[in-house]
Structure 1
Amino acid sequence: MSSTEAAVAAPPVQGQDRPLAGIITRLAAMLSLAIMFAFVKLAGEQGVHVTESLFYRQLTAMPLICFLIWRSEAGWPAVRSDKHRLHLLRSFLGIFAMGLNFWAMTLLPLADATTISFTVPIFATLFAALILREKVGIRRWSAILIGFVGVLIVIQPGGSLIPAFGAAVALAGALVTASVTLVIRMLGRTETSIVTIFWFSVYTLPGLAVCAWIYGGGHDAKTWIYLLGVGIFGALGQLTITQSLRFAPVSTIMPMDYSALLWATIIGIMVFGQWPGLSIWLGAPVIIGSGLFIAWREHVRAAKATR
């Protein structure tokens, strides 16, 4: 589950009065996810198929999800649902989006792929207007257009700084992830985030197990360490994302998600020797600014609706 999906799925939580704890936990979540993607990239360099990385990521997260359900006040009865068609759709789109995002990390430098992933709120707002017929004012439309300008700056169509195929995969991942947020928004009317995550794992693990059996194989110790890192830091990221939503509201902690670019840049330089190009330094602030403005407008709209 990505940070964007978690923010959309999260219902109001009582006790969200520890903003500093929420911010610190969210920063830790972004660091965990950045490390997970680094392990995905390292595993990919060892010839590990994307579906195998996905399998170990989901498999490792499952015990954590079960533990969180067991520790919750409602317990196991809370996972009952009458929205299994939506859960199936969310699972199909979700694993497709995660696969594209994992693949993009193997094709592009971490900072480049991370920057393109920041377009999810832009696409989600666009889809909400076109598909859900939500009212989008001139301010948010302007933010969407500015965000796409930032994308053009980053990928530079016709240029050679970023591989075109890798950029296309990353953009496709952002598009599908944005569609996932719409399904999660519909599920969020009746389902808690932990229930949505539980059924996502239940419905995706069997298919991923088959893919891992087909495409997987014997690995050396170093590769198994990489796959273990994918699972551990993926589960840790999921846990800290969920916990951050208990400490503080989405509007407080969402800006911390953009720290992922800082972590990706540092890891990219230290581990892979990849320095971000000029287009990233120019385009990333435009995309981030657009996403932050959209998040702020969503907060304003929600506050007005509450009043």
Structure 2
Amino acid sequence: MPGDRILTGLALRLLAIFFLSTMSALVKLAETRGASLPETMFYRQLCALPIVLGFVAAGPGLRSLRTTRFKGHLTRSMIGLVGMVFTFGAVLLLPLAEATTFQFTVPIFATLLGALVLRERTGWQRWSAVLVGFVGVLVVSQPGSSHVPLFGAFVGLMAALFVALVAIALRQLRDEPAGTTVFWFSTLTLPFIATAYAFDIRSHDWLTWANLVAIGMVGGMGQIALTAASRAAPVAVVVPMDYSGLLWATVYGWLLFGVLPTPMTWVGAPIIIASGLFIVWREHRLGRQKVRAMVEED
């Protein structure tokens, strides 16, 4: 039944956010144990591949990995690679809760990019939501404060910007199976990351190696859960589940690093979340209006 599919989509999105929040905590933990940024990125992609291949083999089959859209996959992968640098960098530079909060600005950047790059019509309501969202960013970042370094805030915002850019690149690949897109992202970025990693190979104890392997496996499962959630229910319905990431980031930050969000983060985060939810709701409503108009024309 349709209602069952929506509940499944919500559950899968919650599971995906749990996996990705866990991955972020493991990335930060690996850095405290001496792992470098290129190293964590390398094992993130390498150890995710078996998970992705197993998912593809159990679904559409390995033949679905063949593609005639290599250029599109390469473009998406290069954007995603830069985005991963910023995403992991934000986790390393900021407390987990603050790094997660900056990720909530993705709908804001998606609106900006839609208007500036895709020339999409954007009304005053969505522009107002964008401005409100950036007020929330200022509240969280508290320019000049020591808890959220200005450079760390910049990296966190750039991470969200590149997530929005990836979403635009994926529009050009929407006819490709999701597993195919994830596979080519891992495969095409590995040589670049491996080159950087080759200049900074380090020795570790077995716990650190296990940590690095877990980053890739948990990240791969998170990607699969995200993909499955999008297939089970509309994106606009499941996106609010993303904000559960702040709770996981708070728990991991406290348990693993003894750090709790600042009071201003709890003030600013709801402002950013409200802005993002309004933008998502507005996009969903406009999409339904377009569909209704097309039906009436027919």
- TM-score w.r.t. length of structure 2: 0.92
Asked if the contact 2:51/2:217 (under 8 Å) is kept, the reply is no
Per-residue CA deviation, residues 226-278 of structure 1 (Å, 9 max, x unaligned), is: 21221121122112212222332222211101100011011111111101001
Counterpart of 1:155? Answer: 141
Amino acid at match of 1:210: T
Per-residue CA deviation, residues 93-136 of structure 1 (Å, 9 max, x unaligned), is: 10110111111111110000000111111111101100110111
Q: Counterparts of 2:200 and 2:153 in 1: how far apart (Å)? A: 25
291-300 or 209-218: bigger deviation: 209-218
Asked if the contact 1:16/1:246 (under 8 Å) is kept, the reply is no
Counterpart of 2:295? Answer: none
Amino acid at match of 1:133: R
Counterpart of 1:216? Answer: 201
Counterpart of 1:11? Answer: none
Q: Counterparts of 1:224 and 1:264 in 2: how far apart (Å)? A: 23
Structure 1 regions of 5+ residues with no counterpart?
1-13
Q: Counterparts of 1:50 and 1:16 in 2: how far apart (Å)? A: 42
Asked if the contact 1:15/1:246 (under 8 Å) is kept, the reply is no
Asked if the contact 1:45/1:106 (under 8 Å) is kept, the reply is no
Q: Counterparts of 1:211 and 1:160 in 2: how far apart (Å)? A: 31
Q: Counterparts of 1:133 and 1:152 in 2: how far apart (Å)? A: 27
Report how many residues are paired.
292
Q: Counterparts of 2:29 and 2:95 in 1: how far apart (Å)? A: 12
Go from structure 1 to structure 2 and tell me whether the alpha carbon gap of 1:305 and 1:80 turns closer, same or farther (over 3 Å shift).
Answer: farther
Counterpart of 1:124? Answer: 110
Counterpart of 2:262? Answer: 277
1:203 and 2:195 equivalent?
no
How far residue 33 of structure 1 moved from its aligned partner, in angstroms, is 0.9
Alignment of 1:75-86 (within 5 A): 75-86=61-72
How far residue 16 of structure 1 moved from its aligned partner, in angstroms, is 7.8
Q: SS of 1:18's equivalent?
A: helix
Q: Counterparts of 1:214 and 1:15 in 2: how far apart (Å)? A: 52
Match of 2:45 among 38, 52, 58: 58
Q: Percent identity?
A: 47
Go from structure 1 to structure 2 and tell me whether the alpha carbon gap of 1:61 and 1:16 turns closer, same or farther (over 3 Å shift).
Answer: farther
Q: Counterparts of 1:201 and 1:187 in 2: how far apart (Å)? A: 16
Asked if the contact 2:136/2:271 (under 8 Å) is kept, the reply is yes
Q: Counterparts of 1:177 and 1:207 in 2: how far apart (Å)? A: 19
1:142 and 2:128 equivalent?
yes
Q: Counterparts of 1:216 and 1:81 in 2: how far apart (Å)? A: 33
1:258 and 2:220 equivalent?
no
Q: Counterparts of 2:151 and 2:137 in 1: how far apart (Å)? A: 15
Q: Counterparts of 2:191 and 2:260 in 1: how far apart (Å)? A: 38
Asked if the contact 1:27/1:259 (under 8 Å) is kept, the reply is yes
1:70 and 2:60 equivalent?
no
Counterpart of 2:217? Answer: 232
Q: Counterparts of 1:77 and 1:49 in 2: how far apart (Å)? A: 35
Q: Counterparts of 1:284 and 1:114 in 2: how far apart (Å)? A: 10
Q: SS of 1:195's equivalent?
A: helix
Amino acid at match of 1:50: L
Counterpart of 1:5? Answer: none
Asked if the contact 2:64/2:180 (under 8 Å) is kept, the reply is yes
1:26 and 2:16 equivalent?
no
Go from structure 1 to structure 2 and tell me whether the alpha carbon gap of 1:253 and 1:76 turns closer, same or farther (over 3 Å shift).
Answer: same
16-25 or 56-65: bigger deviation: 16-25
* RMSD of aligned Cα (Å): 1.7
Go from structure 1 to structure 2 and tell me whether the alpha carbon gap of 1:93 and 1:16 turns closer, same or farther (over 3 Å shift).
Answer: farther
Structure 2 regions of 5+ residues with no counterpart?
293-298
Asked if the contact 2:84/2:159 (under 8 Å) is kept, the reply is yes
Counterpart of 2:291? Answer: 306
175-184 or 138-147: bigger deviation: 175-184
- TM-score w.r.t. length of structure 1: 0.90
How far residue 17 of structure 1 moved from its aligned partner, in angstroms, is 4.1
